[in-house]
Amino acid sequence: MNICFLDGIDNQYTSKDSESSKLRGAENVVINLSKELSKLGNNVFVYNNNQYINTINGVTWANFKYINNKIIFDLAITNNDLNLFKKIKSKKYVAISHSIQSIEKFIRKGQLVSYLYYRPQIILLSNYHLKNRNALLKVFGSIKLEWAVDEIFLNTTIDDSLVEDRAIFTSRDDRNLDILINIWKKKIFLKNKSSKLFVTPSSLIDNKFNIFERNFGSRDMLIKDLIKSRVFLIPGHKGEIFCIAAEEARELCIPIVTLGIGALSERVDHGRTGFIAKNEIEFAKFSLKILRDNNLWRRLRNNLKNIRKSKTWENTAKKLIKHIK
């Protein structure tokens, strides 16, 4: 199949930039999915604001100005902007949705006409995403896919001897980090003053309560912080339709405690890979149990080791092709 990705983000990137801290999850989806689709024998092109033409891992990366209008693609995939379909011709159209988009926002962004004209299927990332997506924006069909993590997480050695008495939060600071810090100060730290919490850079960090800034930059730095952590704490957020941060922690066999807000309840098998708390009191209780109880921690850890590498970008690419065909 001839497949193209269309991404209008201002950030100029190719797969060579996969380690850059400037890239968001959406760009990494394009990098990983395009590479795996190419490995499956497809001719894959990525058109974005990169200024050059490069062929990397079998994928052609090029600026929009290099689009060959003589090519009729078998599949065109846009990274959240349906108006980019106007730049190419394709037999089938798919749009990746990275948010729960209201019909009002869809109209305001000027994408409704393109949606009705190109009739794309929408890639949705969780049951929560599927349930909360506006019904009109599913009328031409949807594809439920779960994202995977980068290979560097899959290839990282899991060494229990590196784990310290610490918890970690690696999502964005606007993903209810304030709720987590409040729970830590009032319900966890006061009962367990030896443990430390490492979080994304934030003005809420308070060393007096053993809250510290995690290393922020490359994936190598992120992984070094994660593999030393005993538990991953994340309340969740109503805008969280998948949570790649939780998936990265899961892949590194770190038990997760969450309030299950948004799609976070889908990242945890309650009692087996972590806990889904009903309220802040339960959140603190489960967190303290994992921090204090070695037998519980080992059981959760081993359960995570047994399902490690079950989600890969190769499998995601295969599921997409199967659905399209």
Same fold, 2-149+313-324 and 159-306: yes
pLDDT: is 105 or 128 the higher one?
128
Query: What residues have CB less than 8 Å from 161, skipping those under 6 apart?
Result: none
Mean of the pLDDT values across residues 271-299? 98
- For position 153, what pLDDT does the model report? 94
Buried b / exposed e along 287-303 (16+ C-beta atoms within 10 A): bbbbbeeeebbeebbeb
Extents of the domains making up the chain: 2-149+313-324, 159-306
In the chain the first and final C-alpha atoms are separated, in Å, by 10
- The CATH H-level (homologous superfamily) assignment of domain 2-149+313-324 is Glycogen Phosphorylase B; (3.40.50.2000)
CATH architecture of the domain with residue range 159-306:
3-Layer(aba) Sandwich (3.40)
Mean of the pLDDT values across residues 240-245? 94
Percent of the chain with pLDDT over 90: 79
* Global confidence as pTM: 0.92
Mean residue pLDDT across the chain: 93
Residue 82 has pLDDT above 80, yes or no: yes
The 3-state secondary structure of the chain reads CEEEEECCCCCCCCHHHCCCCCCCHHHHHHHHHHHHHHHCCCEEEEEECCCCCEEECCEEEEEHHHCCCCCEECEEEECCCHHHHHHCEECCEEEECCCCCCHHHHHHCCCHHHHHHHCCEEEECCHHHHHHCCHHHHCCCEEECCCCCCHHHHCCCCCHHHCCCEEECCCCCCCCHHHHHHHHHHHHHHHCCCCEEEECCCCCCCHHHCEEECCCCCHHHHHHHHCCCCEEEEEECCCCCCCHHHHHHHHCCCCEEEEEECCHHHHCCECCCEEECCCHHHHHHHHHHHHHCHHHHHHHHHHHHHCCCCCCHHHHHHHHHHHHC
Residue 216 has pLDDT above 90, yes or no: no
Mean of the pLDDT values across residues 161-167? 97
Mean of the pLDDT values across residues 304-322? 95
Per residue in 117-134, pLDDT (tens digit) is 999 999 999 999 999 888
pLDDT tier at 149, thresholds 50, 70, 90: very high
Q: 224: exposed, middle or buried (C-beta count within 10 Å: 0-12, 13-18, 19+)? A: middle
Mean of the pLDDT values across residues 167-171? 97
Per residue in 185-200, pLDDT (tens digit) is 999 999 999 999 999 9
CA distances for 115 relative to 2, 31, 109, 140, angstroms: 22, 24, 12, 9
pLDDT tier at 137, thresholds 50, 70, 90: confident
